[in-house]
Amino acid sequence: MKIEFGKEFPQYFKPAYPEEFELFSHFEVISGIPTVLFAITTWKENGKPNVCFHSWSCFHGDKTAFFAVMGNLYQHTHTYANIQRDRCFAINFLSINYYDQLIHTIHQNDFETDEFAAGKFMLSDAKTIHAPVIEEAFINMECTLKDAQDLSGAGLTSMVIGQVQHVSVEEKYAYGDSERYGNNGFMMLVPAPQNLVTGAPGRSAISTVNIQKYD
């Protein structure tokens, strides 16, 4: 038997925090789909570096181009304004060891704040675009803005698509899967799966990739 859900909000769902269902669709916690976590880095208009800890994204392309498709980027943020202005951004993949430092950048994100300093990250300049990159990241991805779409039309979030122009990979991560997966590799967001029977809220979790089988 399957439990069915439609577009109407299940009234018995309890939020994990007061504004949860003002920010996110109930489908988010019904499905609980894990996605990779990373930091988007840009320059603010005043020249201060900006860090945005983000998920809800995918990466794909064909032989002619490769794209970062970032969903759920809020339009009121510094990051969205910076991308719209400079038409570029960097993506930085860090291990779970840097999670707490990335959280610091969420709580210290005023317009005048140097968010690299807030997170105690080393800043480097991107090679092909006007953006800062996090030196500690094991992969840096430099993107130009391809498109931005307000899918819901509500003026809240946008899907931002970047075309990848350049990738830098830390050398010890260059030898297949030995470093990229596990505790030193990609970290994933598991978005608070709701108890679909009682409506009790779940807890978001941070995970790493554990290879189970080779194809």
The structural domains of the chain, with segments of one domain joined by +, span 33-205
pLDDT in tens, 101-160: 999 999 999 999 999 999 999 999 999 999 999 999 999 999 999 999 999 999 999 999
Please give the angle made by the CA atoms of 205, 210 and 212, to the nearest 5 degrees. 135
SS3 at position 127: coil
pLDDT at 185: 97
- For the purposes of burial, counting CB atoms within 10 Å of the CB of 4, is it exposed (0-12), middle (13-18) or buried (19 or more)? exposed
Q: Give yes or no for residue 178 having a pLDDT over 90.
A: no
Report CA-CA distances (Å) from 137 to 74, 114, 180, 214.
24, 18, 11, 26
d(CA 58, CA 44): 25
Phi, psi of 40, deg, nearest 5: -90, 130
Q: Is the whole model's pTM more than 0.85, yes or no?
A: yes
Q: At 196, list the tokens.
A: 């679909």
E strands, the chain, where?
35-36, 38-43, 49-54, 57-62, 65-74, 88-93, 123-125, 132-134, 139-149, 157-169, 187-190, 205-208
pLDDT at 144: 98
What fold does the segment set 33-205 form as a domain? Pnp Oxidase; Chain A (2.30.110)
Phi, psi of 167, deg, nearest 5: -130, 135
